[in-house]
Amino acid sequence: MSTDLLFTFNAGSSTVKIGLFSLEEAHARQMASAVIDFRKDPPTLHVVKGTEISETVLKATASDDLREVIAETFGWLAQHFDMSRVSAVGHRVVHGGDLFAGPVRIDDASIEEIDGLTSLAPLHQPQCLRLIRAIRHLKPDLPQTASFDTAFHRTNPDIVRRFAIPRALHDEGIRRYGFHGLSYKFIAGKMKRRMPDAARGKVIAAHLGSGASLCGLDNGVSLDSSMGFSTLDGIPMATRCGALDPGVLLHLLGPLGRSASELSDILYHQSGLLGVSGISADSRELLASERPEAREAIDLFTFRTAGEITRIAATLGGLDALVFTAGIGENQPRIRADICARLAWLGLDIDETANAANSERISSSSSRIAAFVIPTDEEQIIADEALSVLTERV
C-alpha cells in the first residue's frame, strides 16, 4: 500500500498547527492544514482543505498526555484522508540546544535529550513532547522526526552567542541560541529562488507575530538573532517583554518579593503589547483603538524593532535588504511603515501604495535598502526536513 502522506505538527503554547502533505517525487506538497485550539474549552479543530473550511468541537479534554485529543483528531482526519497512507509525522521543536544541528528521527534517546532541554523553553517544549508521546502511544510504528528552531542559528559566531558572564556559566549552556529558525530557513530559501541577488547580500528578516524576533543573514546564513537564551529576549511581543535590564528582575525578586513563578507569568504573559497598553495583545485591536496607551504600545514595538535592526546591521557590517514576515509582518502596513520611517536615515524608503497592498516588494525605486514582504511557511520546512530524514534512513 502506498505511504505517500506526511503530517507536520507545529506546537505553540496554546495551539497546534497541523499540515497534511503529499509526497511527490521527493517533494512535499501541502494539501490541507488544521489547527487545534486549546484556548477554547472544549478545544476545537479547525481544518482548511482548498476552499473547504470546517470547525469541529472536540469531545476530548486537554489532559496532560493529550492522548484523547490526538486520538479524536486522527479519527476526524481518517474520515477525510486515508490515514494508512501516512508515512511519517514531523514536529517543530523549539529548543535543540547545542545537541541538535539539524533534523533527527525521534527515538527513545532523542526524546530524552529533547526532554532534558525543557528548562530552556518551558512554554513550548512540554507541549511538543506531549504530542510526540501521544502519537507514539496511538501509532507506535509511525516514524516521527524533529526539526529544531535553534538549529538554523548554530552558524552564529561565538562572540554573538556569548553573554558577559563567567566562562563557566557559558560552558554550562547559558548562551544565546536564537529562535524562529524554521521560519528564517524558509525565508532564506524563498529569497534564493525569488530574488537571488538580494539573497546573496546582507539581509535582516523580521518575524513579527505574537512571538517576534529578527535574524541577520549574510548570503542566507544566520549570523545574529534578536532572541538569545530564551524566547523572552529581543523586541517586545504580544505578551512577552523582550530585552529587559536584569536589575529589574533582581528588584522584583528581592525588594518586591515576587516569586519565580510570578515573575515568569509577568514576563511571558503580562508584558509586551498587552502590558504596555493594558488593552490587548493583538496589534489589530491596538491599531484600531484611539486610546493613547494603545498608540504607545505600538510606538514602543516599532521603536525597539528599528533599534534592533540597526544593532544586527552592525553585526552584518551593512544592510542590503529588510524582509517582513509572520502575522504582523505580512499583514500590518502601518507597523511596517512606522518601522521603516525610523530607518529612513539608512536610506530606506518604502512605496506607500505597494506597502498598503502587502506587495512582495514594498521599497521605492530610489531606496538604498530593498524591503520585502514574504509570507513564511514553517510547516513546509518541517515537511521537507522530515522527508530528508526519512530518505537518509532508506
202 secondary structure, DSSP code: E
Nearest 5 degrees, angle CA 239-CA 240-CA 244?
Answer: 145
CB 88 within 8 A of CB 384: no
Catalytic residue, candidates 4, 98, 107, 149: 149
14 half-sphere exposure, CB direction, 13 A CA radius: 8
Q: Print burial letters for 315-327: b (CB count within 10 Å at least 16), e (below 16).
A: bbeebbbbbbbbb
Cβ neighbours of residue 99 under 8 Å, at least 6 residues apart? 113, 117
CB 301 within 8 A of CB 273: yes
Q: Which amino acid is at 122?
A: P
| Best CA proximity match to 210, nearest among 8, 66, 17, 7 | 17
User: Measured between alpha carbons, how far is 72 from 255 in angstroms, rounded to an integer?
Assistant: 49
CB 22 within 8 A of CB 5: yes
List the grid coordinates of 40: 477554547
User: Measured between alpha carbons, how far is 65 from 62 in angstroms, rounded to an integer?
Assistant: 8
**Catalytic annotation present for 149:** yes
238 half-sphere exposure, CB direction, 13 A CA radius: 15
3-state secondary structure of 126: helix
- What spatial distance separates the first Cα and last Cα of the chain, rounded to whole Å? 17
- Give me the active site residues, please: 149
